[in-house]
């Protein structure tokens, strides 16, 4: 039996009216390139090289002159008193220029001030060339979940990506700052765009027959971009529970009538063997690498607990979703 026939016979018993019936497991590593399998819908999703990839539609660019190809005055500001802070052609990730910093104290380097709204999600990307010393990325005032300090290799362009949500509204400082007093680094192609939660989701159709499920994923994550799954969602994608990992942290969120809140705040947790959420009645448990994250949670919102749509979510195309499983609990 050829590969395609084998997959079809595995799936047909669980397909109900064009969708999946619990229990089901999808192994994306066995699927051919192309659209998601029948039963999963997501316009920005595709199978590519043995993984389910989502390239979410993003909002407008919020960074001014992220590619540093025009004069930086009035756009990029030195967070301190760097000895060199200038547009430079010594290195360029794109075009001719990058922004060069030589610091003589901590926390010097380029930044832009952006205003973020509570619960808005953002997709952030940039490139840094470290010549000497060390740097850290941004100073987000805790408003976007902060990644650990990045120890980039020296003498080459290092890519930084991050997705996250603003737990509180206010100003954030997007940029790169010295973490060793005397450091030299260049930044280029910085980007900061809003992302909406529905843009991250794929849906299983039709609805599974139960709201009480053990749902799990395995994934290869590009730190620090969130991937995970949502359960007990409604058709409008305005109510549901989200279990998320960014490779180094796990979190549990819920959305009630379009309003997000954190049920388990981002907590250090390696994804290891996978991410799992278990719901039974109003009790919800989060596991990462088979270890429970936080304590048992009670989610009793009537707009959530009986919903029977479950599916994956992925905030960045560098993340690879390998398997998705939904079992009755």
Number of Cβ atoms within 10 Å of the Cβ of 289: 15
- Comparing CA positions, the residue from 315, 164, 193 lying closest to residue 251 is 164
Judged by CB under 5 A, which of 25, 32, 95, 115 binds Ca ion?
A: 95
Distance CA 177, CA 101 (A): 9
Q: Tell me whether residue 67 or residue 276 sits nearer to Ca ion (CB atom).
A: 67
Q: Tell me whether residue 108 or residue 318 sits nearer to Ca ion (CB atom).
A: 108
Could you tell me which stretch among 93-101, 109-117, 118-126, 234-242 binds Ca ion (CB under 5 A)? 93-101
Question: What is the DSSP-derived secondary structure letter of residue 3?
Answer: H
Q: Which residues, in sequence order, are CB contacts of 32 under 8 Å at separation 6+?
A: 4, 47
End-to-end CA distance of the chain: 34
Rounded to the nearest 5 percent, the helix, strand and coil shares of the chain are 5, 50, 45
Could you tell me which stretch among 19-27, 34-42, 104-112, 135-143 binds Ca ion (CB under 5 A)? 104-112
Q: Tell me whether residue 81 or residue 290 sits nearer to Ca ion (CB atom).
A: 81
Are 176 and 128 a contacting pair, CB within 8 Å? yes
Least CB distance to Ca ion at residue 101 (A): 10
Q: Tell me whether residue 179 or residue 279 sits nearer to Ca ion (CB atom).
A: 179
Contact flag: residue 86 with Ca ion (CB under 5 A):
no
Q: Tell me whether residue 97 or residue 287 sits nearer to Ca ion (CB atom).
A: 97
The Cα-based distances of 145 to 180, 206, 230 in angstroms read 23, 34, 19
Least CB distance to Ca ion at residue 77 (A): 14
Q: Tell me whether residue 68 or residue 197 sits nearer to Ca ion (CB atom).
A: 68
Q: Tell me whether residue 86 or residue 104 sits nearer to Ca ion (CB atom).
A: 104
- Comparing CA positions, the residue from 46, 178, 33, 159 lying closest to residue 93 is 159
The total number of residues written for the chain in this structure: 329
Each residue 33-52 as x (binds Ca ion by CB under 5 A) or -, in order, gives: --------------------
Judged by CB under 5 A, which of 29, 48, 55, 94 binds Ca ion?
A: 94
- For residue 4, give the 3-state DSSP assignment: helix
- For residue 206, give the 3-state DSSP assignment: coil
Least CB distance to Ca ion at residue 66 (A): 9
Cα dihedral sign, 220-224-225-231: positive
Six token digits for residue 325: 């499983």
Looking up tokens 């299983």, which residue turns up?
Answer: 204
Contact flag: residue 16 with Ca ion (CB under 5 A):
no
Residues 56-75 that bind Ca ion (CB under 5 A): 67-68
Distance CA 151, CA 158 (A): 10
Residues 159-188 that bind Ca ion (CB under 5 A): 188
Nearest residue to Ca ion, scored by beta-carbon proximity: 81
Judged by CB under 5 A, which of 11, 27, 55, 104 binds Ca ion?
A: 104
Judged by CB under 5 A, which of 58, 105, 167, 263 binds Ca ion?
A: 105
Q: Tell me whether residue 188 or residue 318 sits nearer to Ca ion (CB atom).
A: 188
Least CB distance to Ca ion at residue 127 (A): 9
Residues interacting with Ca ion, by CB under 5 A?
Answer: 67-68, 81, 92, 94-95, 97, 104-105, 188
């Amino acid at each position: 039996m050829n590969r395609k026939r084998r997959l079809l016979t595995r799936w047909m018993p669980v397909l109900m009216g064009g969708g999946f019936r619990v229990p089901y497991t999808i192994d994306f590593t066995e699927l051919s390139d192309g659209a998601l399998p029948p039963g999963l819908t997501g316009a920005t999703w595709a199978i590519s090289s043995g993984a389910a990839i989502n390239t979410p539609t993003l909002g407008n660019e919020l960074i001014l002159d992220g590619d540093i190809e025009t004069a930086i005055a009035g756009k990029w500001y030195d967070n301190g008193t760097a000895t060199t802070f200038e547009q430079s052609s010594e290195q360029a990730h794109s075009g001719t220029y990058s922004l060069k910093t030589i610091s003589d104290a901590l926390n010097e380097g380029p930044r832009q001030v952006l205003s973020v709204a509570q619960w808005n999600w953002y997709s952030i990307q940039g490139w840094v060339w470290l010549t000497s010393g060390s740097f850290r990325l941004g100073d987000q005032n805790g408003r976007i979940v902060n990644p650990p300090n990045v120890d980039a290799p020296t003498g080459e362009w290092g890519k930084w990506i991050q997705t996250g949500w603003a737990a509180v509204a206010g100003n954030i400082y997007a940029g790169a700052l010295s973490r060793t007093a005397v450091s030299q680094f260049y930044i280029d192609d910085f980007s900061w765009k809003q992302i909406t939660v529905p843009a991250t989701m794929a849906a299983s159709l039709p609805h599974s027959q139960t709201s009480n499920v053990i749902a799990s994923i395995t994934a290869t994550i590009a730190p620090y971009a969130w991937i995970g799954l949502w359960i007990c969602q409604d058709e409008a994608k305005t109510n549901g529970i989200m279990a998320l990992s960014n490779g180094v942290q796990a979190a549990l969120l819920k959305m009630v009538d379009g309003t997000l809140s954190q049920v388990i705040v981002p907590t250090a947790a390696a994804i290891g063997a996978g991410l799992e959420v278990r719901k039974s009645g109003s009790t919800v448990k989060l596991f990462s690498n088979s270890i429970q994250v936080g304590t048992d949670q009670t989610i009793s919102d009537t707009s959530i607990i009986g919903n029977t749509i479950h599916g994956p979510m992925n905030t960045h195309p560098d993340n690879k979703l390998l398997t998705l499983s939904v079992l009755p609990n």
